[in-house]
Amino acid sequence: MSLLQVTGLNKAFGGVKAVDGVDFTLGKGELLALIGPNGAGKSTTFNLVGGQLAPDSGSVRLAGQEIAGLSPRAIWRRDVGRTFQIAATFASLSVVENVQMALLSADRKVFAFWRRAAGHRRGDALALLERVGMGNQADRPCSALAYGDVKRVELAMALAHGPQLLLMDEPTAGMAPAERLALMALTRALAKERQMGVLFTEHSMDVVFGQADRVLVLVRGRLLAEGTPEAIQRDARVQQAYLGN
């Protein structure tokens, strides 16, 4: 059974079919890239899987259970993690406190007592930061970090929750090319060691073709092609419709 199975997914906004009959699967430990031109329906697909939007029709199954139309909170509780295009950390807290907050939230403690995060699972938070290459910056305020480092903290926060599926919509937006590759190579290693499925969008083809196990190409809401990075690079329809050569 696939970790994620999406079948006949549809979502329209007024007359625009943002997602139009999309089918795909994602396995444990697999890195699946969703690519396509602007307006192709990538973010809408993420929002349908993450619960920020409800589909007009179609099915989203996580480990065999239907999750389409559930609230983001309910989907999060089923161990679906998410990072956002704009990194979402608490700038006034330190790096390690941000991860402690994420652990606190994952442990379903009362969020209102967030100031107690200072004492919560600091060792576990440090271990996560170590794993994403941020162990030496644990006590700096998040506001003092370089943007690429904030994205690493955000990844550690997503991992705090122990997701079986991680949704990353444009995780490397605003990052330099070398940093992009490093972040996604790290994500790939984490996916393999935790057997976590990762669905991500990415504009840099170097990153997509170098890191993804499989690639989905979405054009105007429809899946144009699906395959290994090698097959997608060779696909004449993809070159014509998307890569522009």
Rule CB under 5 A: which residues touch Mg ion?
Answer: 42-43
Q: How far apart are CA 167 and CA 67, in angstroms?
A: 14
Residues 32 and 24: beta-carbon distance below 8 Å: yes
Residue range at the interface with ligand ADP (CB under 6 A); choices 11-19, 59-67, 82-90, 118-126: 11-19
Give the E-state strand segments of 14-99 in sequence order. 16-26, 31-35, 57-62, 65-66, 80-83
Near ligand ADP in 197-216, by CB under 6 A: none
Is 42 or 188 the residue whose CB approaches ligand ADP more closely? 42
Query: Which residue among 22, 36, 51, 60 contacts ligand ADP (CB under 6 A)?
Result: 36
Whose CA is closest to 44, among 67, 2, 5, 10? 10
Is 14 or 119 the residue whose CB approaches ligand ADP more closely? 14
Residue 44 touches which member of ligand ADP, Mg ion, none, C-beta under 5-8 Å by kind? ligand ADP
Query: Which residue among 44, 89, 98, 164 contacts ligand ADP (CB under 6 A)?
Result: 44
Residue range at the interface with ligand ADP (CB under 6 A); choices 37-45, 134-142, 171-179, 207-215: 37-45
| Number of shown-chain residues binding ligand ADP (CB under 6 A) | 11
Residues 12 and 56: beta-carbon distance below 8 Å: yes
Q: Is 41 in the site for ligand ADP (CB under 6 A)?
A: yes
Could you give phi then psi for residue 137, rounded to 5 degrees? -120, 20
Is 38 or 245 the residue whose CB approaches Mg ion more closely? 38
Residues 163 and 75: beta-carbon distance below 8 Å: no
Could you give phi then psi for residue 39, rounded to 5 degrees? 85, 5
Q: Is 86 in the site for ligand ADP (CB under 6 A)?
A: no
Q: CB of 77: closest distance to Mg ion in angstroms?
A: 25
Q: Of how many residues is the chain composed?
A: 245
